[in-house]
Structure formats: structure tokens, C-alpha cells
Amino acid sequence: MELNRLLLPLILSTIFLFQGFQPSLQQECKNCSKEKTPKSSNSTSKPPLVPAFFVLGDSSVDCGTNNYLGTFARADLLPYGRDFDTHRPTGRFCNGRIPVDYLALRMGLPFVPAFLGQSGSVEDMIHGVNYASAGAGILFSSGSDLGQHISLTQQIQQATDTFQQITLDLGEEATTEMISKSVFYLSIGSNDFIHYYLRNVSRVQSLYQPWGFNQMLASIVKQELKNLYNANVRKVIVMGLAPLGCAPHYLWHYHSKHGECVDEINNMIIEFNFAMRYMVADLNRELSDAQVTFCDVFEGSMDIMRNHQRYGFETITDACCGLGYYKGWIFCLSPEMACNNASTHVWWDQFHPTAAVNAILADNVWSGLHTNMCYPMNLKDMIP
């Protein structure tokens, strides 16, 4: 009976998600991702605050990469994107905008296009590129059970390729100046828990206690950030992880009686964020001409949930879209599974927040508007 309970959501999700591979639907999504996204209101009257915005990470910031991959980790069908500016799915794992959309507009830039969704011309990449891929983790094998994804190491290689292409067009000196003044945003790590450590893949829990696992992840990220530094990157935002123990999937999976978060999981996330914050502080000491900041999404998210009424949220446990208790059993698969007003919910689906939450978190990253969650500085402080 327990085996059936665990296998049923996987079987049903496989059946329904397979629809996303039908050629007609895939073609529709490709057309959607190529639609022009809105530019900031001041983009025509004022120059952008930075030359470009580059994004690396997982489904928290994927804006369409996985539309072009053979994977179950896709958000190319409604109701995803229903509240986005185009009211169509773009590949964002949200009902609307993701954090980097709000931040791009703050900096006077257009929404950043997905690396696999643009033509490859320098004109398409000159204001930035989003390399993020749903399912990606810090570890190469994290998320492999979902199908294809672009790993963190591969994303950084794509970024390096982009720099080389821009160099051919602008010249080395101009490109170096552009890259050094641009902002890079890294949001990754949740799949290393969801699809690796918590599932005890390769008996990882017998090899690493949570703290040792988190230290290993932080050391890998540190080396990848150094690789970016060697490519002339100087301004980096490193995002921590949200309270996964409060996500609807784990409330369902751990049989939470009254919506209590799973402390066992949240304690691991707190440790991960601590390790990452310490790593960033260490990196700033080593690279004196770099500006690297860590933003604790756990802190920002818990502030929203503790003070949800002040922020205008009515539901902090159930997802807007899904099936089962807390709507955390079956993934968001059709418009009929979604609530009417996502803005009253903290969670959009099993693991991802609504656009309303993303807007608040983006405000905090930009200036700490609602609560301070970035150390040692906010994004606004990085920009002269």
C-alpha cells in the first residue's frame, strides 16, 4: 500500500507530463517563448543602470531553457504563465513573473532571454542572457531523474562562450569592461536536496551528514564563482534556498497535520544557507575587487509566511495549482487544477512560489524594502 502511494504520483505525472512532448504543443510553446517581453518604463528615457544581466540556476529562474530539452521539468503549458505579461506559458515555473524579471526592470533592462531561445546574435545577448535550466543542481547528477538539463558547469561554459562571441563583435577591452560592470545572478541548490540528498541517491546519506553535504556544495559553488571571476565577472548575487520544508509537496509527503513545516528539511536548508553565506564572505576577502553578495531566501520567505496577512496572502500551506492534500501530491498539469487568484497564495505549485512572492523577494534583493536578507549588500548598493 505504501509502495502504491509513492508510485502513483510518479505514474500519473509521467502520463500527463508526456503530453508536453507532443509536437504541436512543443511548437506552440516555442512560438510563445519568442514573443517580445516588456521593457522597463524608463528604458527609452534613461540608460540602463548596468550594461547587462546574466542569470544562472534552476527552475527558480528558468525562463524557457527547458522548452528545448527532452525533460519532464517543463512549464510550457497553461496554467503556467497565465498571469505573465503575455498571459501565455514561457517556460517560467510560475503563474507570472520570476524574481529576475522584476530585477531586470529595476535596472532598466528588458527581460533577459533564455540562452536556447535566442538566435545567437550579439544583439540578442548584449543586455544579458538567462542560462538557467529547471532540474539543474550544483552536483552534475542532481535532477537527472527528470531528463535533460543544463548543469551549473555547463551553464558557466555557455556564459564563457557568450563572452567570446561578444568579444568578436565588440573587441576584448570593451567586452571586459561590459562583463565587469554587469550583474550576475545565481539561484541553484534545491534539486541537490529534492532530487538527490533527500532521496538518498547513490546512498549519499551514508557518505555525508547534512553539514558535510552542505559544505561540499558550497565549495563547488565557490570554485564556479572563481571561474566566473577569471572570466572578468565582478558583480554576483548568490541566492540561498527557500524553506523547502514548508513546500506543499513535503507537507503532503510528511503528513503534516496542520500545515506545520518539516523541521528536518528546513534545518538542512538553514545549514546550506549558512555555508553559502560564509563562503561568499570568504570569497570577498580573497577577491578584493569583486562584489559578491548572498541573499537568504529562507529569511525572506519566512518573513512573508509569518506576516502573510500584512503582505495580503490568505493561504500559506496549499499550492494554488496541484492535487492532493496541500495540493502537493500531483504536479500542476492543467488549468482546471489551479485556484482562481494566485496572488492570495504563497505557493504556486509543489515547490515554486507565486509571482506575488517573487515580487516581494525581488524588492528585498534590490533594496531590502520589506526585510533585510542580503549580506553584505543589496543589489542597489552594487550599482554606482
Catalytic residue positions, numbered: 59, 349, 352
E strand or H helix at 32: helix 23-33
Instruction: Cell numbers for 37, please give them.
Output: 517581453
Strands 291-295 and 315-319: unpaired
Cis peptide, bond prior to residue 376, ω within 30 of zero: yes
Residues 295 and 238 sit within 8 Å (Cβ to Cβ): yes
Strands 374-375 and 345-347: unpaired
Q: How many CA atoms lie within 13 A of 119 on its CB side?
A: 6
Nearest to 77 by CA among 331, 334, 321: 334
Residues 331 and 349 sit within 8 Å (Cβ to Cβ): yes
Distance CA 63, CA 115 (A): 9
- What is the gyration radius of the CA atoms in the chain, in angstroms? 20
For the four alpha carbons of 229, 283, 55 and 199, in that order, the dihedral sign comes to: positive
User: Which residue type, as a one-letter code, is found at position 365?
Assistant: V
